C-alpha cells in the first residue's frame, strides 16, 4: 500500500505520539498489565486510523474523451440542476460526492484538457453535507476544457473536520483524465458542475471510486 506524500509528516507525528502513549503507560501504570494493554491498543488504533486515511491505492482509469470520471471516492449526495454563479453563470447539473474519513482522499481529474480557471477561497468549515458548504466553506474551484470544447467545473470543499485543501493544478496547465490533482485532509466533498444534457450514470447514494467510476457522459 502506497502512502500519499501529504501524510508523511502527520504519520511521523502520529508515530511519536503512539510511542509516547505506550511508554507513558509503562511509566504511569507499571503494575497494571491490563491498563498498559489498553493504552497499547489505543496507540495502535490511532496509528492505523491515520495510516488508512493517507493511503494512495493505484487506480486504472478507463480513458475516454466522452466520459466524466469520478474525482473522489465517496457517496453521491447531490444530483440536481442549479445556477452556477462563479464561472459559468448559468444552469448546470451539480453532482456532489461526499468523502467520509474512511475514504481515500486523493482527488483526480474528471476529464483531460486545459485548466482554464483556478481560484482558492478561504472560508468556513460547515459540515460537508450542508447546502451552503459549496459557497461558504474553504474551497478551490477548477475548470477544465477538453479538446472538444466541453468545460467541467469541480470544487474541492473542506468539511467540518477538514482544515487543509491541497491542489496541484494551476491555470494554463494541461491535465490528464484520472491523474491526481489534489488532496483534502480529514473528511470533505467534491462538487462537479456539468453541462445541461449530460447523461448522468449515477444515482443518489451510489458509491464512487476516484479515477475509475464513470459518473457521466457528454451528450455530444
Per-residue burial over 101-140, b = 16 or more CB atoms within 10 Å of its CB, e = otherwise: eebbbbbbbbbbbebeebeebeeebbebeeeebbeebbbb
Determine the Cα angle at 106 with ends 171 and 2, to 5°. 125
- Please, is 92 exposed, middle or buried when counting C-beta atoms within 10 Å of its C-beta (0-12, 13-18, 19+)? buried
- Known catalytic residues? 188
Cell matching residue 128: 460537508
Hey, what's the cell of 90?
Answer: 448559468
Phi-psi region of 17 (alpha: psi -120 to 50; beta: other; left: phi over 0): alpha
Cell of 159: 468539511
Amino acid at each position: 500500500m502506497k502512502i500519499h506524500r501529504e501524510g508523511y509528516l502527520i504519520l511521523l507525528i502520529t508515530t511519536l505520539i503512539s510511542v509516547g502513549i505506550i511508554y507513558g503507560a509503562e511509566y504511569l501504570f507499571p503494575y497494571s498489565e491490563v491498563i498498559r494493554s489498553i493504552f497499547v491498543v489505543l496507540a495502535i488504533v490511532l496509528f492505523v486510523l491515520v495510516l488508512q486515511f493517507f493511503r494512495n491505492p493505484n487506480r486504472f482509469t478507463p480513458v475516454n474523451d466522452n466520459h466524466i470520471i469520478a474525482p473522489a471516492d465517496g457517496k453521491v449526495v447531490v444530483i440536481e440542476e442549479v445556477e452556477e454563479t462563479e464561472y459559468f453563470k448559468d444552469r448546470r447539473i451539480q453532482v456532489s460526492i461526499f468523502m467520509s474519513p474512511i475514504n481515500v482522499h486523493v482527488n483526480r481529474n474528471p476529464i483531460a484538457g486545459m485548466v482554464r480557471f483556478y481560484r482558492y477561497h478561504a472560508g468556513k468549515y460547515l459540515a460537508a453535507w450542508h447546502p451552503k458548504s459549496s459557497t461558504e466553506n474553504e474551497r478551490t474551484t477548477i475548470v477544465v476544457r477538453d479538446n472538444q470544447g466541453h468545460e467541467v467545473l469541480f470544487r474541492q470543499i473542506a468539511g467540518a473536520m477538514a482544515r487543509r485543501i491541497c491542489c496541484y493544478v494551476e491555470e494554463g496547465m494541461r491535465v490528464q483524465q484520472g491523474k491526481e490533482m489534489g488532496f483534502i485532509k480529514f473528511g470533505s466533498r467534491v462538487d462537479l458542475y456539468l453541462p445541461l444534457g449530460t447523461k448522468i450514470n449515477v444515482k443518489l447514494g451510489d458509491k464512487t471510486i476516484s479515477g475509475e467510476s464513470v459518473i457521466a457522459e457528454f451528450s455530444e
